[in-house]
Each structure stands twice: as C-alpha cells, then as structure tokens.
Amino acid sequence: MLQIRSARLADLPGMAAVLQDAFSDKMHAIFGSDREKIVSLLELIYTGPVKRGYDGVLVADRGGRIVGTLVIEPLLHTADENRAFESLAVRELGLLRLLRAAFMLWLLSHKPGPDEAYISDVGVAADCQGEGIGGQLMAYAERWAHEHGRTRLTLWVAADNARAIHVYEKAGLAITRTRASWLTRLTYGIRRWHFMEKSLTSRQLPSGEREDRRRDAEDAEKV
C-alpha cells in the first residue's frame, strides 16, 4: 500500500537515499562521490524544519520503505540550523568543495513569492519509477498548496527531462518561460531550463492554449 504524507524524522535517511539515487549525477557534481557523506548532508537539510513541524516535506511510503519525495518551498532554516549544516559540510567536504557546492546550489536556487508553492526535490526510487508515484506526489502537493493558501504551483525543470515534464504537464502545469545558462551547462551539463506553473485560482487553460503558450515561451527563448 502506498501512502503519500508529510515526512517524520525517522523518514529522513530513506528520503535522503532516494534523492541521492534519483539525482546521482547532480549530487556527484555538487558534493563529490562519497555517498554516505551526501546522504548525511541531505538528511540534515530537512531535519530542522521537520523537527519544528514543517509539513511540506513529503514522502511516498510503501509498507515502511520511503520510495519517493517532494519538497514544497520555501523551506526555512533557523540560524542555529544553518550553523549546524555549515559545520557538518565543512567537516565532510572541506572548505573549497563547500564553496563550490554553495555556488552550484545557488545557480539552481529560486526565491518563491508568498503566493507560490514552489516544488523541488521530486524523486522516485529507481525500481519504483513509472508506477504513478510521481503523479501522486504532485496531486498531494496541489492539495497541500490549497490548504496552505498558496495560489500557484511552480517549479524549474531541465528542458531535456522529458519524463518529469510529462508528469508535471499531466498534473496541469504549463511551461511559462525558458532560460538558458552557460554556467549551468558548464557545471551540470544542462543549458536550458523550463519554469512551469499552475494557477490554483483562475480557470485552467485548455490543452490547445497550453500548447500555444509553451511554443511562445520556447520561441521567445530562441530570439
């Protein structure tokens, strides 16, 4: 039985393992090759907010195994939590790699507005992909956003990630802008990114109109 729910502290090691596996290329580029270190750093990112009762860190739980994750930002940290993360990161990565990691994470960062439920860290365990878990995480995130008074679901996705884009479009999000960055091309090997969103207040665009908007956004990027 699959259950989508807010994460508890006990879920975080499983969640970190799913993220490490689902994003192994990016994790390798940002943090290096030591899997144990990456998992402990990832775990600490979510520990403070979850401990303080933040319920926008979501997991897919199949019979006690964490098989999927999705985080709704902003994910806020206290000064003490930031200090604890920095100390662990310096210890595990060393100062130079930490600076490099901070720069790479900054390249992908997004500052959500107060109306946004900004979705990040969507990952499903490799042996469970294609079973509808990503779609269920998105449906839960939309309900969460409604309940928390957010009026838009938003996210950035690599333009070549056709599977993720399909899952997001099926959840009703549409591409509204595209950006290209040589810095992300150099650091991650990914140049083009789509911003996708879904309004939770206005009428949804019919699929033909969504397709027109997507083409307009792509044409604008080509100019």
Ligand X SMILES: CC(C)(COP(=O)(O)OP(=O)(O)OC[C@H]1O[C@@H](n2cnc3c(N)ncnc32)[C@H](O)[C@@H]1OP(=O)(O)O)[C@@H](O)C(=O)NCCC(=O)NCCS
Q: Between 18 and 98, name the residue whose CB sits nearer to ligand X.
A: 18
Residue nearest to ligand X (CB): 134
Q: Between 115 and 131, name the residue whose CB sits nearer to ligand X.
A: 131
Side chain identity at residue 66, one-letter code: I
| The binder of ligand X chosen from 89, 124, 174, 175 (CB under 6 A) | 124
- As measured in angstroms, the least distance from the Cβ of 81 to ligand X is 25
Strands across the sheet containing 192-199: 2-6, 57-62, 65-73, 116-124, 152-158, 192-199, 174-180
Place of tokens 């969507």: 122
Q: Does 153 contact ligand X by CB under 6 A?
A: no
Q: Which stretch binds ligand X (CB under 6 A): 80-88, 121-129, 200-208, 211-219?
A: 121-129
Beta strands in 34-115 (DSSP E): 57-62, 65-73
* Cis bond before residue 114 (omega within 30° of 0): no
- As measured in angstroms, the least distance from the Cβ of 78 to ligand X is 27
Q: How far apart are CA 77 and CA 156, in angstroms?
A: 22
**Could you tell me which residues are beta bridge partners of residue 196?**
155, 175
Q: How far apart are CA 56 and CA 78, in angstroms?
A: 16
Residues 13-32 that bind ligand X (CB under 6 A): 22-23
| The binder of ligand X chosen from 6, 28, 135, 139 (CB under 6 A) | 135
Q: Between 55 and 131, name the residue whose CB sits nearer to ligand X.
A: 131
| The binder of ligand X chosen from 123, 144, 173, 193 (CB under 6 A) | 123
Site pattern 154..183 for ligand X (x: CB under 6 A)? ---x---xxxx-xx--x-------------
- As measured in angstroms, the least distance from the Cβ of 190 to ligand X is 11
Q: Between 41 and 124, name the residue whose CB sits nearer to ligand X.
A: 124
Q: Is the dihedral of CA 211, 217, 222, 223 positive or negative?
A: positive
Q: How far apart are CA 163 and CA 142, in angstroms?
A: 19
- As measured in angstroms, the least distance from the Cβ of 79 to ligand X is 29
Q: How many residues does the chain have?
A: 223
Q: Between 32 and 135, name the residue whose CB sits nearer to ligand X.
A: 135
Contact predicate 60/3, CB 8 Å: yes
Contact predicate 69/18, CB 8 Å: yes
The residues of the shown chain that bind ligand X, judged by CB under 6 A, are 22-23, 122-124, 129-135, 157, 161-164, 166-167, 170
